Structure 1
Amino acid sequence: METPTTPDERLKAFGNQLINVHAWLREELANLRDDVDAHLAGGSARPRELPAHCLAFCSALERHHTGEDAAAFPALAEQFPALRPVLQELTRDHQIVSDILRRLQNLLDGLGNNDAAQPRHVQAELDGLAALLESHFTYEERKIVAALNALAAPDWDDAPPAFLLTAPVEQDNVSDNARHP
């Protein structure tokens, strides 16, 4: 794939990058759900591996949503005032997702405490998270990608903001398998 060189091509790439980030997050969540399913089926996924996998996924998702709330949504609201209700709704979704991630982390922290129901609770939270994220991502892509592609954001010309990256910028402790440029 050729790197965009003109400002119009570069800005257009940000909307497309959002879709790529969402695809990566969907894939990571599917992998996490597969790990839980394997554990429940008596497979090789050990409970102590699940918290580490969840931490990497949850951190990436939180970074993405925090960046949208702090950078992209204010810029979009300023340049496209008609999008403000959509952006407010997406921000509310981010809070709900954050609450689910906290509950999920608490459940994962308790795995291995000989509570046979614990992995099923983790699975239920992941199922709810997957349903919410699929709806959220689809809605967000449908409503704001075109505006993001048209966004005049001179500060983004040199490098995309962190919320448009799939890998942590400053975290070296995440495995190379979780890193995508």
Structure 2
Amino acid sequence: MRLQLVSKPPALEEDLREFLIACHGRIRSSLSSAAAAAKAAGGSVEADRLHVDAAREAGRFFRLALPLHAEDEDVSIAPRLRALGDAAVDDALDGMTRDHAPIEELAQIVAGRCEAMAATAQAPAELSSEVARLAALLEPHLDFEERVVFPVLGKLDDAVRRQIASEARERRRLAYGGTYGAKERS
């Protein structure tokens, strides 16, 4: 099995919707990497360097980048889309934001397990089942956002989309200590 380390999404300036979809790609890639790392180590066998690195990257992503992505949606995107005054969009946003807390809670647990694997080259026994639970929460959530929420971004003015992108960039700059763009993107 070939592991794919998380890829970098397009720059925020290019297209906000495409940036968010690429973020979803990184979420899926991180889930896949964490699952493959856990399976390879099997909870008792020492993992090889590739799987340890994959666990480290996945842990870092779930610890730092995933919360930034949720904050982009909850703080920057949802209020702008609510301003459109569309009840169906508001209902979709309610579901989207409601999903974020349980996803975040489990993602932080998975991050800790991945970090433990990176430190010891041993996959914690719970990692595989917790990654599966996280995937079960995330997959329908991501699909819903891509089908229902992200297409509505096109209704926002270019200036509003640029402001959302600016806020997302600033979040990452603060989170990554001014190094955003050099390595990490969410």
Normalising by structure 2, what TM-score?
0.70
Name 2:96's counterpart in structure 1.
90
Return closer, same or farther for 1:15/1:54 CA change in 2, 3 Å cut-off: closer
Matched, 1:64 2:69: yes
Q: Which sits farther off after the overlay, 104-113 or 16-25?
A: 104-113
Return closer, same or farther for 1:120/1:24 CA change in 2, 3 Å cut-off: same
Could you report, residue by residue, the CA deviation over 1:115-168 in whole angstroms, capped at 9, with x for unpaired residues? x8x7221111111111221111101111012211221252443782455x7x94
Paired residue type of 2:173: V
Which one of 75, 85, 95 corresponds to residue 80 of structure 2?
Answer: 75
Sequence identity, in percent? 21
Which one of 22, 25, 28 corresponds to residue 27 of structure 2?
Answer: 25
Point out the structure with max Rg over C-alpha. Answer: 1
In structure 1, stretches of 5+ residues that fail to align are 4-9
Matches within 5 A, 1:91-106: 91-106=97-112
Q: Which structure is richer in relative contact order (CA contacts within 8 A, separation 6 or more)?
A: 1
Paired residue type of 1:76: L
Name 2:48's counterpart in structure 1.
44
Q: Distance in 2 between matches of 1:73 and 1:113?
A: 37
Preserved CA contact (<8 Å) 1:100 1:125? yes
Matches within 5 A, 1:158-177: 160-161=165-166, 163=168, 168-170=172-174, 171=176
Q: Distance in 1 between matches of 2:74 and 2:141?
A: 14
Matches within 5 A, 1:114-125: 119-125=124-130
Name 2:5's counterpart in structure 1.
none
Q: Distance in 2 between matches of 1:131 and 1:99?
A: 14
Q: Which sits farther off after the overlay, 22-31 or 39-48?
A: 39-48
Normalising by structure 1, what TM-score?
0.71
Q: Which sits farther off after the overlay, 72-81 or 24-33?
A: 24-33
RMSD: 3.7
Q: Distance in 1 between matches of 2:69 and 2:146?
A: 14
Return closer, same or farther for 1:161/1:21 CA change in 2, 3 Å cut-off: farther
